[in-house]
Amino acid sequence: MADETGGEKKDVEPSHPIPCSIINTKQIFCIILIAHGTLLFPERNLFPIELVLQAPLMGRQLEYMDCFRSLSSKNLQKTKDSLIGGLIGCGHSQQPEPCESTNQGFVPRKPNNTVHSKTTPFMPKPRSRGVSAGVSEKAFLTVSDDDGGDAYPWNSVEMGWQRTAYHFQPEKNWMNGRQQTSLLGPLFHERWYHLFYQQNPDSAVWGNITWGHAVSADLVHWLYLPLAMQPDSWFDWNGVWTGSATLLPDGQIVILYTGDTDDHVQVQNLAYPANLSDPLLLDWVKYAGNPVMTPPKFIALKDFRDPTTAWLGPDGLWRVAFGSKINKTGIALVYTTTNFTTFELLDGFLHEVPTTGMWECVDFYPISTLGYEGLDTSANGPGIKHVLKASFDDDRHDYYAIGTYDLFNNTWTPDDPEEDVGFKLRVDYGKYYASKTFYDQNKGRRILWGWIGETDSEAADLQQGWASVQSIPRIVIYDNKTGTNIIQWPIVEIECLRLNSTEFEDVELEPGSVVELDIGKSTQLDIVAEFKIESEALEATLEADVSYNCSGSSGSAQRGSLGPFGLQVLANENLTEQTPFYFYIAKASEGTYTSFFCSDQTRYASC
């Protein structure tokens, strides 16, 4: 598969007269996609779409994408009640944001130095976002309407229509990454999945990060509960940030989370349910001895965050990993503990990758190479590999690699050093960040979530009163056809949302054509599309676009021998505005194929 992060880009002349969107009964190459999303018609300009690519036949690798997009309101006068399939393309930009600070040594306070107790009335604090807080601000695409162009004057009621219907989001205001666990053990009979998510209860922009809480019996329908944790103690006064839950063998639940202290130092804190017999776990206690970890001397005070779920080694030690960086080298650190109140930093790093910058929301989990069942985070041994995922603060993408974990030497080694974390595989090729998995003991599966921040402006967020959604949960399995990547698929529960269906069969796409599909009036669509490529077209193409990658291409406007083909959604009548989701096939001279699955968030009138 082509290197997603770049590499020299070669212009490959089409060796065949552009048979790039052909559907034919000769089915030697078959791609299925399912889109879960909300297409909003008419005159709604914001929608989430998730696409799933399945079945890379003949051992080809797949890339996977989840996309959330806000169309620029610029030049958008009218949205047509239609879904259009045809030639489409990909490309998006992100704004890296540097974040530097140095650790001169951090002296933790004693508990009685607490300056803000839980009983102190909570006063909203000035909002501080971005670099000064040690995290990046919302990254905008250039398609934002912030440039004051002839933006369509959406009013607040119209903005309100843009809320999603079945992607999780809070009732209002800002949300970002999530903390989660499936609560089993003593609460298994209650069948509640608990979702904790970071939100700003006061505004639709990042800040005042507080833990919202919701429960679900099926991971689809959610019940909002009162806030679980607020930034009300000195050790999290500037935010209750990312954390992870660990279920202990005796049924206890512990949560480790990053607190941004009143001095803007990132520390790790312990919290646990006040009453384990409460199935809703409404009350949470912050450990009196917090923080339980402070930044080690060799990393900066603002570069120590996002504890993973802990895993248990055969030596009886729990291990928990963190993301950080040293200069520009992204690193994962591991601490051990027996009691979750005292921790010891292990020598060396679990892994490091030069030039990748700060690693956020590290995820580290075992995956079975022998079957499709999910594995508990502590699982290890024959038939198991480990996935290491890091969210790169510099480019706001989630990268992963598959490798081997040596617990006793505290190292993880990628199967292929050429495909190390950040070199090749992304968890998702759309707008998707800070993803995390958890093991669902209820159904024996590993489930992945991601945070989808829209690409519209903060001004629009404030006007509509909310920002960001969670992706639809997906199961994660090892791709034993390729042996090099994971496969993701929406959880089966999502299918309960389907009400009726419209089918189109034998739609033929000629090269360069766009075929309109009449779906009538609809506001929510779940799209399953299967593309079959003419075998002659594949065979006649000796080599095509071997250096292709979604991010480095010119999006849906770039035509090659075997791509793009896919769907254009939310298209206006004359296609000056559209959101393409497309496939692109590259063929190497030795006859191997690579399928790319991309989104193009830049297709609007002035492109």
Nearer to ligand DQQ, 135 or 486 (CB): 135
Cβ atoms of residues 194 and 183 within 8 Å: yes
Considering only residues 503 to 562 of the shown chain, the ones binding ligand DQQ according to CB under 6 A are none
Nearest Cα to Cα of residue 269 among 284, 248, 280, 251: 284
Burial of 29 (0-12, 13-18, 19+ CB in 10 A): buried
Nearer to ligand DQQ, 299 or 494 (CB): 299
- What Å distances lie between residue 453 and 141, 209, 226, 258, CA to CA? 11, 16, 23, 21
CB of 98 to ligand DQQ, least distance (A): 15
Nearest Cα to Cα of residue 195 among 184, 208, 182, 207: 182
The binder of ligand DQQ chosen from 144, 179, 198, 378 (CB under 6 A) = 198
CB of 323 to ligand DQQ, least distance (A): 7
C-alpha span between 523 and 531 (Å, rounded)? 24
CB of 209 to ligand DQQ, least distance (A): 5
Nearer to ligand DQQ, 141 or 452 (CB): 452
CB of 255 to ligand DQQ, least distance (A): 13
**Residue 177 sits in the site that holds ligand DQQ (CB under 6 A):** yes
Nearer to ligand DQQ, 455 or 561 (CB): 455
Query: Could you give the string, one character per residue 80-119, with x where binding to ligand DQQ holds by CB under 6 A and - elsewhere?
Result: ----------------------------------------
The per-residue b/e assignment along 250-275, b for 16 or more CB within 10 angstroms, e otherwise, is eeebbbbbbbbbbebbbbbbbbbbee
Cβ atoms of residues 332 and 348 within 8 Å: no
CB of 324 to ligand DQQ, least distance (A): 10
Nearer to ligand DQQ, 242 or 455 (CB): 242
Nearer to ligand DQQ, 305 or 445 (CB): 305
CB of 266 to ligand DQQ, least distance (A): 8
CB of 176 to ligand DQQ, least distance (A): 5
Nearer to ligand DQQ, 208 or 595 (CB): 208
Cβ atoms of residues 543 and 12 within 8 Å: yes
CB of 239 to ligand DQQ, least distance (A): 6
CA 138 to centroid of chain Cα atoms? 15
CB of 128 to ligand DQQ, least distance (A): 12
The binder of ligand DQQ chosen from 182, 199, 258, 378 (CB under 6 A) = 258
> Which tokens belong to 72?
């620029």
Considering only residues 204 to 243 of the shown chain, the ones binding ligand DQQ according to CB under 6 A are 209, 241-242
Query: Could you give the string, one character per residue 569-598, with x where binding to ligand DQQ holds by CB under 6 A and - elsewhere?
Result: ------------------------------
* Residues 6 or more apart whose Cβ sits within 8 Å of residue 355: 328, 329
- What Å distances lie between residue 270 and 235, 247, 340, 391, CA to CA? 11, 13, 7, 23
Q: Which residues pair with 255 in a beta bridge?
A: 245, 271
**Residue 333 sits in the site that holds ligand DQQ (CB under 6 A):** no
C-alpha span between 532 and 200 (Å, rounded)? 46
The binder of ligand DQQ chosen from 63, 232, 306, 394 (CB under 6 A) = 306
Considering only residues 360 to 399 of the shown chain, the ones binding ligand DQQ according to CB under 6 A are 360-361
The per-residue b/e assignment along 276-302, b for 16 or more CB within 10 angstroms, e otherwise, is eeebbbeebebbeebbbbbbeeebbbb
Considering only residues 413 to 442 of the shown chain, the ones binding ligand DQQ according to CB under 6 A are 434
**Residue 246 sits in the site that holds ligand DQQ (CB under 6 A):** no
Burial of 204 (0-12, 13-18, 19+ CB in 10 A): buried
**Residue 176 sits in the site that holds ligand DQQ (CB under 6 A):** yes
Indicate if the alpha-carbon torsion angle 18, 22, 24, 27 is positive or negative: positive
φ, ψ of residue 283 to 5 degrees: the values are: -110, 135
- What Å distances lie between residue 221 and 68, 193, 345, 437, 478, CA to CA? 20, 10, 40, 19, 28
C-alpha span between 66 and 29 (Å, rounded)? 23
How many chain residues touch ligand DQQ (CB under 6 A)? 13
CB of 450 to ligand DQQ, least distance (A): 11
CB of 241 to ligand DQQ, least distance (A): 3
Nearer to ligand DQQ, 114 or 136 (CB): 136
**Residue 135 sits in the site that holds ligand DQQ (CB under 6 A):** yes
Residues of this chain that interact with ligand DQQ (CB under 6 A) are 135, 176-177, 198, 209, 241-242, 258, 305-306, 360-361, 434
